[in-house]
Amino acid sequence: MEEIVSSEKVIASNEFVVGSVPTVLYIPDYITAAEEDQLLNNIYQAPISKWKSLKNRRLQNWGGVVHEKGLLAQDLPPWLKLVTNRIYEESRLFPSAINHVLINEYLPDQGIMPHQDGPAYVPVVAILSLGSPVVMDFVPHPSFCGTPTDISGNNNEDIISKPENIEMSSGEYLSEYCPFSVALMPRSLLIFKDKAYSDFLHGIKIVSFSDMMSEAQLAHMVSGLNIDGEAGDDNVIHRTATRVSLTCRVVTKVHKHLIKL
């Protein structure tokens, strides 16, 4: 990984933009298989007490405790700093070094309910996917469509906040606020910000990947897979393995831990 860091590659935003909602970037094969293995090794070397089990996923919290008023910070471990610094330097989309990482682990039938990330974070998120493919769905925030959306089930750092000053015709709404999905392949990096962050909820369905493929016919898929009905076997992907993701973000208000944990 160090070699790649030193090459100072820059993620050219327009090359990786997917879909029409500002702004979603999808970078396939952002890391190599060897780097993926190394990250998984480090993640699974963490003590069992580092995992917090939720109904539909397990998670590790790195970087400290996020409160609405900021971050009670703890340094990221070197193996995480390596990858987050690389994302920070190459994306040039974060105002400062990434200081918070949530690692989520999903079994094949697990997911995360549609949610918006909490207000403590700078509104840019980078998600590195490991292990198994998954589809991330983006749906307009309920205040844009008046339809009920299940917004429960996420961890308590993420809350729903109501966008303000929404004034648009139904035509404008339809063109700007269509749900869409992004296929997240292992080793890919997804970055989203702007409207995709503020006006949409994101989530992963709690069903198998193959169910999702037939159910939605991938109508709104904006990245990753050949979704042609004629697609050959190569394009059939089954979500049979565990997926692990690194959600990398910045909290600008930082309070140092007085007590070392």
Return the one option of Fe ion, ligand AKG, none that residue 71 interacts with (CB less than 5 to 8 A, by type): none
Select the residue whose beta carbon is closest to ligand AKG and give its number. Answer: 245
Q: Does 223 bind ligand AKG (CB under 6 A)?
A: no
How far, CA to CA in Å, does 248 sit from each of 14, 66, 86, 202? Answer: 21, 13, 11, 15
**Shortest reach from residue 60's CB to ligand AKG, in Å:** 11
> In the complex, what is the shortest distance from the CB of residue 195 to ligand AKG, in angstroms, rounded to a whole number?
16
Sign of the C-alpha dihedral, residues 27, 88, 124, 35?
A: positive
Closest-by-Cβ residue to Fe ion is 117
Q: Kind of pairing, strands 254-256 and 70-73?
A: parallel
Side chain identity at 233, as an amino acid letter? Answer: D
Q: Are 155 and 51 in contact (CB under 8 A)?
A: no
* Closer residue to Fe ion in complex, CB, 30/138: 138
In the bound complex, what is the minimum distance in angstroms from residue 197's beta carbon to ligand AKG? 11
**68 in Cβ contact with 249 (< 8 Å):** no
Count how many residues are written for the chain: 261
Closest distance of CB 180 from ligand AKG, Å: 15
Tokens 């070699």 label which residue? 3
Partner in contact with 245, chosen from ligand AKG, Fe ion, none, beta carbon below 5 to 8 Å by kind: ligand AKG
Member of 158, 195, 199, 201 binding ligand AKG (CB under 6 A):
158
Say if residues 138 and 200 touch (Cβ distance below 8 Å).
yes
Q: Three-state SS for 248?
A: strand
Query: Pick from Fe ion, ligand AKG, none: which does 35 bind, CB < 5 to 8 A by kind?
Result: none
End-to-end, the C-alpha distance of the chain in Å comes to: 29
Of these, 202, 209, 239, 248, which contacts ligand AKG (CB under 6 A)? Answer: 202
* Beta strand pairing call for 100-106 and 57-62: antiparallel
CA 50 to CA 160: how far, in whole Å?
A: 26
Number of residues that bind Fe ion (CB under 5 A): 1
Smallest gap from Cβ 104 to Fe ion, in A, equals: 9
Q: Which stretch binds Fe ion (CB under 5 A): 65-73, 112-120, 137-145, 188-196?
A: 112-120
Q: Considering beta carbons, is residue 36 or 117 the nearer one to Fe ion?
A: 117
Provide the sign of the torsion angle of the four alpha carbons 257, 258, 260, 261, taken in this order.
negative
**Per rule CB under 5 A, is residue 117 in the interface with Fe ion?**
yes
The residues that touch Fe ion, with contacts defined as CB under 5 A, are 117
Which residues would be at the binding site for ligand AKG (CB under 6 A)?
A: 102, 104, 112, 117, 127, 136, 158, 202, 245, 247
